[in-house]
Chain A
Amino acid sequence: MLASAALVMFMTPGLAFFYGGLVRTKNVLGTIMQSFFALSLVSVIWVVIGYTLAFGTDIGGFIGGLDFAFLKGVGATPGEMFVNGAGEDAVAIAPTIPHSTFMVYQMMFAIITPALITGAIAERMKFKAYVIFLGLWSILIYSPVAHWVFGGGFLGLWDGSVGALDFAGGTVVHINAGAAALAAIIYMGKRKGYPQEAMRPHNVPIVILGAAILWFGWFGFNGGSALGANGLASAAFINTQIATAAAVLGWLIPEWSKHGAPTTVGAATGAVAGLVAITPAAGYVEPYAALIIGLAAGLVCYLFVSLKPRFGYDDSLDVVGVHLVGGVLGAILTGVFATTAINSAAADGLVAGNAALVMDQIIAVAVTLVFSLVGSFILLFIVDKLVGGLRVTEDEELTGLDLSQHAEVGYSFAEGGGGHAR
């Protein structure tokens, strides 16, 4: 489990490279910094209050209490992990690992989720605004949704709840981030020069490296969500590989036929789409279903991204097109293909004779989407007023984030790069 936590941690710098290579040279560091900085700020917030809001004793099905603030009571003895705090409604999960291990594993999910949003509004956000938004979003949007699905709240698998299935965070991470991205795109507007100006990736090899790191780390993201070294972890790991592999094909085949060439960025993006879609399903479906989910994710996300110009917004790095669309698709297909044959602690889906699960999935999707969309919009508004504008100035946008926000230049390949000490 600790190794899985480390794998998920590694996904955040992986995301930094994936996004970083896709933007223009002058914004590479600004883009990387948005992900890298989350490793720092969200970790601290998680320790202080994020973890307890997500996994503390349930209050009204909506939020966790403050029992675990500053990680008080989060011990290192295996088998003391309860979802929903330590009260009489607590549910024992992960009997083989310490509470603290569970906490730090979940921390890595809390870190990467807001970092995903940054791709949508790449190349135009003030860093000061981002930092504040990041902190508020983690506490007020991420922790509540995590509580609803994972922490004993009203959406998950607990008595009296909606009973939606989400193995590793299709709603908590991808739909959550995707909906927030949509809010941000609408609130902040398009990049200067979009769509007339060509804004091409400046470093495709780094994009592929980032995607590969994401794929690698996702084995911890999905496999580790079994919360133990067991057969379910193996099933989730394998479903992850199958779906991702199929999704690459799901993207490349239509791309090759339409544009006459299969692209590496397309292969990498297809892979990410598959990883997103299998996230809610990984520990609930059989391999044949992982194939279908992956193929569908690659194809559907490709179509959605191709149609992006018609939507009239600037989803710079396709966060809506891949994470929101892929997440929704995966959540619904989980309702179709889930089977207790793979996970006896879960539920059957449509194919196994229980069509009602699909409805539960749709409810969870809708609730998460609306909450995140509206909540993020409100947060963006608040931060906008607090710092006097979310976007960098026009001049700063032309100069680039690296110099304007971070006083740095990404690549100074010319000997020394010039300049002198002040």
Chain B
Amino acid sequence: MKMISAIIKPFKLEEVKEALRTAGIQGMTVIETRGFGRQRGHTEVYRGAEYQVDFVPKVKVEVLCDDDQVSQVVEAVMTAARTGKIGDGKIFVLPVDQVYRIRTGEMGTDAI
């Protein structure tokens, strides 16, 4: 099993969600976060003082899938989240040791 952790531009969330559903993914976790890579932040002005704010708002989407679904899921997220401009984000693929469904106690692939 793998966890796909994708950091995307916030306005892309709806599109990515739909692409994941089409790819067969039923559930996900969404976290509002901030970050930067090559994308530069912005300047704010308050009463004559300028402030450089480096962090840019992002959304992190986390989904689980079987090993054989990974390339399909990654492709779906990549296509949906891409704008072609700096700041589109990154996708991390992480190994998962175990998964449990809290309600029933099921483990492994049954719990995804």
Least CB distance, B21 to chain A, in whole angstroms: 26
Are A318 and B47 in contact, with the CB atoms below 8 A? yes
- Pick the residue among B44, B48, B51 that contacts A255 (CB under 8 A): B48
Least CB distance, B5 to chain A, in whole angstroms: 22
Chain A residues with CB under 8 Å of B48's CB are 255, 258-259, 302, 305-306, 308
Chain A residues with CB under 8 Å of B49's CB are 308-309
Q: Is the C-beta of B86 less than 8 angstroms from some C-beta in chain A?
A: no
B44, B52, B53 pick with most chain A CB within 10 angstroms: B44
Chain A residues with CB under 8 Å of B50's CB are 259
Q: Is the C-beta of A198 less than 8 angstroms from some C-beta in chain B?
A: yes
29 A-B residue pairs with CB within 8 Å? A198-B51, A198-B52, A198-B53, A200-B44, A200-B46, A200-B51, A201-B46, A255-B45, A255-B48, A258-B48, A259-B48, A259-B50, A261-B45, A263-B45, A263-B47, A265-B46, A265-B47, A266-B45, A266-B47, A269-B47, A302-B48, A305-B47, A305-B48, A306-B47, A306-B48, A308-B48, A308-B49, A309-B49, A318-B47
Q: Which residues of A (284-309) have their CB < 8 Å from a CB of B?
A: 302, 305-306, 308-309
Q: Which residues of A (175-219) have their CB < 8 Å from a CB of B?
A: 198, 200-201
**Within the assembled complex, what's the spacing in Å between the Cα atoms of A309 and B50?**
12
Q: Which 3 A-B pairs have the closest CB atoms?
A: A306-B48, A198-B51, A259-B45
Chain B residues with CB under 8 Å of A200's CB are 44, 46, 51
Chain B residues with CB under 8 Å of A265's CB are 46-47
Interface of B is mostly: strand
Interface of A is mostly: helix
Q: Total interface residues on B, using CB and 8 Å?
A: 10
Q: How many A-B residue pairs have CB under 8 A?
A: 31
Least CB distance, A405 to chain B, in whole angstroms: 25
Q: Which residues of B (45-78) have their CB < 8 Å from a CB of A?
A: 45-53
Closest to A308 in B: B48
Least CB distance, B38 to chain A, in whole angstroms: 22
**Within the assembled complex, what's the spacing in Å between the Cα atoms of A266 and B48?**
8
Least CB distance, A421 to chain B, in whole angstroms: 26
**Within the assembled complex, what's the spacing in Å between the Cα atoms of A255 and B49?**
10
Chain B residues with CB under 8 Å of A261's CB are 45
Closest to A321 in B: B47
**Within the assembled complex, what's the spacing in Å between the Cα atoms of A261 and B48?**
11
Closest to A317 in B: B47
Q: Which residues of B (29-44) have their CB < 8 Å from a CB of A?
A: 44
Chain B residues with CB under 8 Å of A269's CB are 47
**Within the assembled complex, what's the spacing in Å between the Cα atoms of A200 and B44?**
9
Chain A residues with CB under 8 Å of B45's CB are 255, 259, 261, 263, 266
Chain B residues with CB under 8 Å of A318's CB are 47
**Within the assembled complex, what's the spacing in Å between the Cα atoms of A306 and B46?**
10
Chain B residues with CB under 8 Å of A309's CB are 49
Chain A residues with CB under 8 Å of B52's CB are 198
**Within the assembled complex, what's the spacing in Å between the Cα atoms of A308 and B52?**
18
Chain B residues with CB under 8 Å of A308's CB are 48-49
**Within the assembled complex, what's the spacing in Å between the Cα atoms of A306 and B50?**
10
Least CB distance, B56 to chain A, in whole angstroms: 15
Interface string of A231-257 (1 = CB under 8 A from B): 000000000000000000000000100
Chain B residues with CB under 8 Å of A201's CB are 46
**Within the assembled complex, what's the spacing in Å between the Cα atoms of A334 and B11?**
54
**Within the assembled complex, what's the spacing in Å between the Cα atoms of A387 and B66?**
65
A255, A259, A305, A309 pick with most chain B CB within 10 angstroms: A259
Chain B residues with CB under 8 Å of A198's CB are 51-53
Least CB distance, A364 to chain B, in whole angstroms: 29
Chain B residues with CB under 8 Å of A266's CB are 45, 47
Least CB distance, B31 to chain A, in whole angstroms: 13
Least CB distance, A254 to chain B, in whole angstroms: 9
Least CB distance, A324 to chain B, in whole angstroms: 15
Q: Which residues of A (261-277) have their CB < 8 Å from a CB of B?
A: 261, 263, 265-266, 269
Closest to A318 in B: B47
Closest to A260 in B: B45
Chain A residues with CB under 8 Å of B47's CB are 263, 265-266, 269, 305-306, 318
Chain A residues with CB under 8 Å of B51's CB are 198, 200
B46, B47, B50 pick with most chain A CB within 10 angstroms: B47
Chain B residues with CB under 8 Å of A258's CB are 48
